[in-house]
Structure 1
Amino acid sequence: MTAHALTIEGLRVEAIHPHGRTALVDGVSLTLHAGEVLALVGASGSGKSMTCAACLDVLPPGTRRVAGSVAIDGNVRTAFELRGRQVASILQNPRTAFNPVRSMREHVGESLRAIGRRGADARAEVTQAMRDAGLDDPERVLGLFPFEMSGGMLQRMMIALALVSRAPFIFADEPTTDLDLIVQREILDLLDRLKGERGLGILLVTHDMGVVARLADRVAVMEHGRIIETGGVMEIFHAPQHAVTRSLVAAHLSLYGLEDVA
């Protein structure tokens, strides 16, 4: 059955230190629908990436999720049930996501084993996913090592692995930050196309309001670990309500010599 919505409810993450605890994510609740891009925006350190990591139980040492749940169509799921099955991840720097001494074929094999997929059908699906992700010669690419590939190729490979998982939702954490402008545009176009063709729900973590304007359907703004404003992308750009949102939009507009948001 196709999933229709992923719901994060009451998520709280704390850092544990000698003097006590500090909330890094505090009471975050969001719903991501199939076939939409929900942009999670805010300044560095506002809790965007931590929110995604907490949902999938991949938090850094010294932090832990102390409250909250993640549900698929109303059914609460564990992080193990979500990772690679209901939610696939696309990371900021694709070069750090691949073992430099293992070929793409080895990475694909490991990914398939992790989700219990094998056989000729799985291999054929890998080939198709790579083509869908813009890798036109899958057999050649599978023989390559990460150091033989550009950042754009590695990002496309990561997207292909996300497609092979058949996960209905993707967490894309700053997926274009380390790419040049032309490749950034190509990756954004690719994600937009896949959203439409496959009905994927994409949680897009970014601080780049240009990326938000290009790709997002809805926007959630974070500040100090909390969601302070949500709305449609046009609403956020043309009628932001919170001072932080106005600052983000104004900073973006200033790049083009436009007036600040009132």
Structure 2
Amino acid sequence: MQKAKTLTIERLNVVWPHRDHSHRLVRDLSLSLRAGEVLALVGASGSGKSMTCAGALDVLPPGVIRSSGRVLIDGQAVPGAGLRGRIVATVLQNPRSAFNPVRSMADHAREVLRVARIDPAMDSAAMLDAFAEVGLDDPAHVAGLYPFEMSGGMLQRVMIALALLSGAPFLFADEPTTDLDLLVQARILDLLADLTARRGLGMLIVTHDMGVVARLAQRVAVMEAGAIVEMAPVAQIFAAPAHPATRELVAAHLKLYEGEPA
């Protein structure tokens, strides 16, 4: 089957109904992601970045609803249940909370492989290959480990391996390095960049860190108050940000490096 080439979120609205009025958390948001590119979705905390991903995949918190909008894959509308784990894989910001604490890494991998409809006879080889590809030493040993036996960096690598096992052509990475130390952050970013390039994945990376944007992205969509207020190539975002929200993000990033040697 031919791999999907374009994912489009069209006129997405996410609403939290509350008493006599509703709060629109995402407002008429539209964007497209192509296979082989990294699109960064950036903005201050509370701007609606994570809600955009959750709304697109129909995994919103209780009480929050997608009031309108749809996701298109190569022009065809696909419901959230048809996207998750098959067309869109996810990598989350807190890997420890994403794993069942009483199931081993091999258990998690087998569940992904069942969803991906991989031949069960190939399960072990596929799992070990994926663990090795993301840089986990001794994949057979890792397969038998439980979440409490692993570091945050190891768990994040397993989560990326599970995304690869799914065979999904698109990846939503929601603040994938937030809870990791700086050295592990750099290694995870290098891994994501390498895998995206080699496998031709389309990645939507949600972040407030403009350093991550500069490292990974080709295009940037800036959110404020639930809406995209600017979208441009990454070089333009840093060289000539047009919207005040974008200018604030870039200025805050540059201020971190004031006084450092060139």
TM interval, short-chain normalised: over 0.9
Q: Structure 1 counterpart of 2:143, which letter?
A: L
- TM-score under structure 1 normalisation? 0.96
The offset of 1:17, in angstroms, is 1.1
Q: Does 1:188 align with 2:179?
A: no
Instruction: Kindly provide the CA deviation profile for residues 40-82 of structure 1, in whole angstroms up to 9, marking residues without a partner as x.
Output: 0000110000000011110001100011110111111111110
The offset of 1:194, in angstroms, is 0.3
Report what 1:54 is aligned to: 55
Report what 1:82 is aligned to: 83
The offset of 1:3, in angstroms, is 1.3
Larger mean CA deviation between 122-131 and 201-210 belongs to: 122-131
Q: Does 1:250 align with 2:262?
A: no
Separation (CA, whole Å) in 2 of partners of 1:157 and 1:37 = 21
Q: Does 1:38 align with 2:71?
A: no
Structural mapping, 1:1-262, within 5 Å: 1-257=2-258
Secondary structure at the residue paired with 2:258?
A: coil
Separation (CA, whole Å) in 2 of partners of 1:187 and 1:155 = 8
The offset of 1:136, in angstroms, is 2.6
Secondary structure at the residue paired with 2:96?
A: helix
The offset of 1:121, in angstroms, is 1.9
Secondary structure at the residue paired with 1:171?
A: strand
Count of aligned pairs between the two proteins: 258
Larger mean CA deviation between 100-109 and 169-178 belongs to: 100-109
Separation (CA, whole Å) in 1 of partners of 2:106 and 2:124 = 10
Q: Structure 2 counterpart of 1:149, which letter?
A: M
Q: Structure 2 counterpart of 1:178, which letter?
A: D
Separation (CA, whole Å) in 2 of partners of 1:219 and 1:84 = 24
The offset of 1:122, in angstroms, is 3.2
Is the 2:106–2:127 contact (alpha carbons within 8 Å) kept by the matching residues of 1?
no
Is the 2:169–2:201 contact (alpha carbons within 8 Å) kept by the matching residues of 1?
yes
Q: Structure 1 counterpart of 2:83, which letter?
A: L
The offset of 1:129, in angstroms, is 1.1
Unaligned runs of 5+ in 2: none
Q: Structure 2 counterpart of 1:210, which letter?
A: G
Separation (CA, whole Å) in 2 of partners of 1:79 and 1:186 = 31
Quote the RMSD (CA, aligned, Å).
Answer: 1.0
Unaligned runs of 5+ in 1: none
Separation (CA, whole Å) in 1 of partners of 2:9 and 2:124 = 33
Larger mean CA deviation between 203-212 and 122-131 belongs to: 122-131
- TM-score under structure 2 normalisation? 0.96
The offset of 1:127, in angstroms, is 1.3
